[in-house]
Structure 1
Amino acid sequence: MQFDFNEEDDLSIQKFEHMLKTNEVGFFDSDEFEQIIEHYLETGKMAVARKAIKLGISQHPTSVNLKLFRAEMLIFDNQIELAHAALNELYEIQPQNAEIYIQKANLFSKTEEHQKAIELLQTALSYTPDQSDVYNLIGMEYLFLEDYSNAKINFMKCLEIDDTDYSALYNVIYCFDFLQEHEEAIDYLNLFLDKNPYSEVAWHQVGKQYFDLKQYEKSLAAFEFAIISDDHFVGAYLEKGKVLEKLGRFNEAIANYQITLKLDDPTSFAYLRLGKCFEKLGAHEEAIKYFKQTVKEDPLLDKGWLAIVNFYCKSMDYQKALGYIEKAIEIDGENALYWTKYAKLNKRLNFFEEAEYGYRRAIELGNYELSTWLDRADILLVLGEVEAMISNLTNGLEFYPEQTELEFRLAGAYCLRGEWVKGKFYLQNALKRDAEFLIIWEELFPQLLDHQEILPLIQS
C-alpha cells in the first residue's frame, strides 16, 4: 500500500509505519508527529516512539512540543542529567509553558524529590488551562509523601473543576479511608451527591463507608441507590450482597450475587460468596458446587480452596479435605496457609511425619503463629525427634520469649536428653510464670513427673 507522505490526513500513523517498513523518509508536519508519538506512548511502544521523536526533531528542530516529548522519553529512560539539560534549554525558550514545569516535576518525582515536584506543579497551575490534571499530579505527589490530608485537598480541587473525574473521587475516598475519617467521607460524598444525585460511583462509596462503620441498613440503602442510578453496576450488587449477608438475609444476598453472574463475566468472589450463603442455609450440595466453581474460575484464590477444605472438615470427611489441600499445594506450593491446613489434617489422621513436614514448610514460608511452633513440637515428640524438637522450641522462643507453653515443652525435651541443668532452668522459669501449665507435663512427659531431679521443683 502506497501513501503520499506529504498528504495531511487521518492516516499519519499508518503512513509512518509504512515508512519504517520501506525505509523511505517522508515529511510529516509537527502536529502529525505529535499525534504519532502520543499514539506510541499510549500503546507502550517506546522503541517506535523514540524513532518518531528523533525523526520529528530532525524535521522540526525548533518544535518545543517535540523536544518536550524527547525530555519525557529521557526521564522514562532514567537519563536524568540529559533530561535536566533538555528541560532547562526549553525553559529559556518558553518560561511560561506549563508542560515544561510538569515535566520538570516528573523528573523530580522520579528522583524522589517530591516537595520540589509539588512546587513546580504549583507554578504550572498559573500557566495551564488544564488545572484539573495538575491538581491530580499534586495530589499524587502528596500521596508519595504519605501526606494524605494535602493529597485529599488537591484531589477535591480536581473534582471542583471536573466532577466527572471518578479517578479523583476514588483518590479522595482513599485518603479519607487511610485517615480513618469515615464520617467525614460520608459528609463529603453527600455534598457531591447534592450536585450529582445519580452518581452511581458516589452512592457506591457512601455504601462502603457505612459498611466500614457497621451501619448496615444505611449501607444497604446507599447500594440500592447506586443500582437505581445504574442497574448494570456489578460492584454495587456485590457490595449489596455482602451487606445482606451481614444482616443474615442470605436468600436476598444470593439473588444479588446471581445477578452479577448474568451482567458480566462470573467472578471467583461471587462464586465464593454464593457458596458461603448456601452453606449458611444448610444447602450443602449447592454450597460445594459454588466453592468448586470458585477455584475453577481462579485456581490461585486460597479462600476458595480453604472453603472446600473447611466444608469437608465440617462433614468430618478429613481424607477428602486432605485431597483438596494437596491439590491446592500442587498449584501454589508457596502458600503457608495451605501447608498449615495440610499439617493439621495429617495430624488429625495420625500421619505424623507428613504433619511435621507440613508445619516445617509453613514455618519456612512465614507462619510464625504460636500454635504452629507448639503443634510441631508435640509431633516431633511423638516421632522421637527430641533434638529437632529442641531446635523448633528454641526458634519459637525467639518470637515468643516469655511464652510459658514453649518453656514447659523445652524443659521436658532437655530432660529427655538428660540435660538436667537446662531442663530445670526452663522448668523453673515456666513455673514462675504460670504453674497451671504444669498440666502440659502430665500430658507430654508423664515419665518425668516422679523423677528425682524434677520432683523437688514440682512440689516446691
Structure 2
Amino acid sequence: MEQRIKRDVNLLNLVSDFESKYEQGNLEYLDEKTINQLVDYYERELQIDKAMEVVDLAIEQFQYRAEYLILKARMLYMEGELKAALKILEKASLMAPGEKDILTLKIKIYCQKKDYSTAKMLLDDLRSMCYGEDMIEVYIAEAIIFECEKNFEMMYICLKKALRLDHSNAEALDKFWRAVESSKNHDDSIAFHKSLIDENPYNHIAWYNLGMSYSFNGDYVKAGESLEFAYIIQPDFEQAYTEHGEVCLQNQWFEQALQIFTEVNNKFGPDSDHMVTIAICLLHLGKVEKAKQVLQKAMKLDPYNEEVYFNLGKCFEAKGNWYSAINAYLKAIEIDNGTDSFYHSLARAYVEVEDYNKATINYHKATQLGSDNPALWAEYACFLIRLGLYDEANQILDDAEDHTYGAELLYCRSITYFFLKMKKDGLDILEEALAEDFEKHTIIFSLAPELEIDKEINAMIKYYEREYKEFA
C-alpha cells in the first residue's frame, strides 16, 4: 500500500511538473517512459485532449517513428474521427509498411465505416503477414468484422481460437463476453473458461466471464464465487464488484449486496447510482432512516438522479408518510417522465390519501408506459373494482388484452362478471384462470370476500386445488 501511494504521488508530481512547464513554454525533452506515463494518466482521467497534446509532442520529438502516429490514430478512432485517423495511418504506413498494428487499426476503422469489403481485404493482408502465435491478431481482427456484421457465432469461434493461442490476451477476453452473450453459448463458455483458469488460475477476466455465464444460466452461487475471485485477483476490477453485487440484489441477498456496494463506494469513490443501490438494500433490511441518509448524500452528488427521489419516496412510504412520498415521486417524474414504476407508485400513494382522480390518472399513465406488464393492468382493474366501477374495470381489462396476457387479468375479469350478475361468464373465466395459474386465485376473495360462501366457486377451486397439488 505504501509503495502504491508513493507511486501515485510521483505520478501526480510528474503530471503537475509537465503541465506547469507546458503552460510556461519551458518544456524540455520528454523520454519515452514519461510520455507513456502521461498518456496513460490522461486517458484514465478521460482528459483525451491533454493526452493528444502529449502524443503530438512525441510525434514532433520522434519524427521518424511510427508508434506515436499509430497511438494518435487509435485515439482519433476512439473519438470517432475516422477520416483523420486514416490519414495519420497512411503517414505511419510510409514509415513502417509492415506494421501489423496499422492494419489492425485500419480494419477497425473500416468496420466502423461499415466498409466490410475493404476490412476483409486488409484482413487478408494481415493474414499473409502472420504465422504461429501472431495469428492471434488475425483472429481478433476477424472477430471484430464478424461483430460488426452481427455474426456473433463466428465472432465467438474466432475469439476462442485467439484465446487458445494466448489464454491471457486482454483484448480477446474483453470481447469474449460480448460474443458469449450475443451467441448464447453459455454452456460452452463455462467449460472453455474453466480450461483457461486451469491454465492460469489468476486470469481475472476469465473468472469474470465464467461468473457472467453462470449468472445467465441461473447458477447464482457459482456466479458470485467466480466474480468474487475476479476482484480478489484484480482489486481494481470495479465491474466484477458491481456484477457480483447485482447478482446478490437479484436474488434478494440484501446483506451481501449491501456489503459489496458499500465496499465499491468506499474503494472507487462516491457514486450516486451505487448509493441508491445501498439505500435499496438498507430499505429491504428495514433500516429506513439510514437509507434516507444515504439517499440525501446521493442527492448532493447528483441532484438529477431520478432514482434518488423515487427511492426516497419508498422510504417515506415505508413510514406511512404518504404526502412526502407523493412529493418525492413527483420529483422523480419531473426528471424522468418515461418510467412506469414511478407513476405506479404515485398512483398507489394517491389511493392511500383517497385522491382517487389522481390515482386513476397515474394508473392510466403507468399502464400506457408498462403496457406489457399484466400486474400493472390487474392492479388498475382491482382499484376500479374496489370503487365499484365494474364497467370501467371491464374496459381496462379489454385494453389490457390488446397488450398482454396473464392469469391475474382473468381473475379480475371473472370478479367483474360476478358483480355484474353475469355468473355463468364469470365461472367460465374463473375456470380458465384456475387452469392458468392456481396460486393467484386468492385475488378473488381479497376483492370479494362475500364469494367465499359461494358453493359453485368453492367447488371449482377445490377441484383445481387437487390438480395443483397432484402436479406440484
> What band does the TM-score fall into relative to the shorter chain?
0.5 to 0.7
> 2:193·2:210 contact (CA, 8 Å) conserved in 1?
yes
TM-score normalised according to structure 1 size: 0.62
User: Match for 2:457 among 412, 416, 437?
Assistant: 437
Residues 206-227 of structure 1: per-residue CA shift (max 9 Å, x gap)? 6555555655445544444444
Equivalent residue of 2:401, what SS?
Answer: helix
Which has the greater radius of gyration?
A: 1
Equivalent residue of 1:177, what SS?
Answer: helix
> 2:208·2:226 contact (CA, 8 Å) conserved in 1?
no
> 1:318·1:345 contact (CA, 8 Å) conserved in 2?
no
Q: Counterpart of 1:99 in structure 2: which amino acid? A: E
Task: Give the distance between the partners of 1:169 and 1:263, measured in 2 at CA.
Answer: 33
Whether 1:87 and 2:112 are equivalent positions in the alignment is: no
Equivalent residue of 2:80, what SS?
Answer: coil
Task: Report the equivalent of 2:292.
Answer: 254
Q: Counterpart of 1:240 in structure 2: which amino acid? A: I
Task: Give the distance between the partners of 1:78 and 1:132, measured in 2 at CA.
Answer: 25
> 2:393·2:416 contact (CA, 8 Å) conserved in 1?
yes
> 1:207·1:222 contact (CA, 8 Å) conserved in 2?
yes
> 2:279·2:292 contact (CA, 8 Å) conserved in 1?
yes
> 2:316·2:325 contact (CA, 8 Å) conserved in 1?
yes
Q: CA deviation at 1:149?
A: 1.1
Q: Map 1:356-435; keep pairs closer than 5 Å.
A: 356-366=394-404, 368-373=405-410, 375-376=412-413
Equivalent residue of 1:113, what SS?
Answer: helix
For structure 1, the residue ranges without an aligned partner over 5 or more in a row are 1-9, 15-26, 406-433, 441-460
Q: 1:48 to 1:342 in 2, by over 3 A?
A: farther
> 1:199·1:226 contact (CA, 8 Å) conserved in 2?
no
> 1:101·1:120 contact (CA, 8 Å) conserved in 2?
yes
- Greater shift, 303-312 or 293-302, is seen at 293-302
Q: Map 1:161-172; keep pairs closer than 5 Å.
A: 171-172=209-210
> 2:207·2:227 contact (CA, 8 Å) conserved in 1?
no
Task: Give the distance between the partners of 2:93 and 2:234, measured in 1 at CA.
Answer: 46
Whether 1:264 and 2:302 are equivalent positions in the alignment is: yes
Task: Report the equivalent of 1:281.
Answer: 319
Q: 1:362 to 1:284 in 2, by over 3 A?
A: same
User: Match for 1:44 among 70, 75, 80?
Assistant: 80
Task: Give the distance between the partners of 2:381 and 2:362, measured in 1 at CA.
Answer: 13
Q: CA deviation at 1:103?
A: 0.7
Q: Counterpart of 2:154 in structure 1: which amino acid? A: E
Equivalent residue of 2:270, what SS?
Answer: coil
Q: 1:124 to 1:267 in 2, by over 3 A?
A: same
Q: CA deviation at 1:321?
A: 0.7
Task: Give the distance between the partners of 2:110 and 2:241, measured in 1 at CA.
Answer: 42
Q: Counterpart of 2:409 in structure 1: which amino acid? A: T
Residues 379-415 of structure 1: per-residue CA shift (max 9 Å, x gap)? 6899999xxx99x999x8998695699xxxxxxxxxx
> 2:411·2:430 contact (CA, 8 Å) conserved in 1?
no
Task: Give the distance between the partners of 1:284 and 1:264, measured in 2 at CA.
Answer: 24
Task: Give the distance between the partners of 2:99 and 2:128, measured in 1 at CA.
Answer: 14
Two-structure CA RMSD over aligned residues (Å): 5.1
- Greater shift, 221-230 or 58-67, is seen at 58-67
Task: Report the equivalent of 2:343.
Answer: 305
User: Match for 1:315 among 328, 353, 356?
Assistant: 353
> 2:208·2:240 contact (CA, 8 Å) conserved in 1?
no
Residues 64-111 of structure 1: per-residue CA shift (max 9 Å, x gap)? 544434433444455555544432233223433643332123334543
Q: 1:29 to 1:153 in 2, by over 3 A?
A: same
Task: Give the distance between the partners of 2:83 and 2:66, measured in 1 at CA.
Answer: 19
Q: CA deviation at 1:233?
A: 4.1
> 1:135·1:158 contact (CA, 8 Å) conserved in 2?
no
Equivalent residue of 2:186, what SS?
Answer: coil
Whether 1:106 and 2:126 are equivalent positions in the alignment is: no
Count of residue correspondences: 380
Residues 100-128 of structure 1: per-residue CA shift (max 9 Å, x gap)? 332123334543324531343136529xx
> 1:339·1:359 contact (CA, 8 Å) conserved in 2?
yes
Q: CA deviation at 1:335?
A: 6.1
TM-score normalised according to structure 2 size: 0.61
Task: Report the equivalent of 1:411.
Answer: none
Residues 167-195 of structure 1: per-residue CA shift (max 9 Å, x gap)? x7764543342244444445456656666
Task: Report the equivalent of 1:117.
Answer: 158
Task: Give the distance between the partners of 1:76 and 1:373, measured in 2 at CA.
Answer: 50
Task: Give the distance between the partners of 2:110 and 2:384, measured in 1 at CA.
Answer: 57
Task: Report the equivalent of 1:34.
Answer: 70
Q: Map 1:46-85; keep pairs closer than 5 Å.
A: 46=82, 49=85, 64-76=100-112, 80=116, 82-85=118-121
More helix by share: 2
Q: Counterpart of 1:44 in structure 2: which amino acid? A: G
> 2:312·2:328 contact (CA, 8 Å) conserved in 1?
yes
Residues 223-279 of structure 1: per-residue CA shift (max 9 Å, x gap)? 444444356244543333223222222112222222211233442222222212211
Whether 1:149 and 2:190 are equivalent positions in the alignment is: yes
Task: Report the equivalent of 2:173.
Answer: 135
Residues 330-367 of structure 1: per-residue CA shift (max 9 Å, x gap)? 8x48565665555554555555665444322221112x
> 2:340·2:365 contact (CA, 8 Å) conserved in 1?
no
- Greater shift, 317-326 or 250-259, is seen at 317-326
Task: Report the equivalent of 1:450.
Answer: none
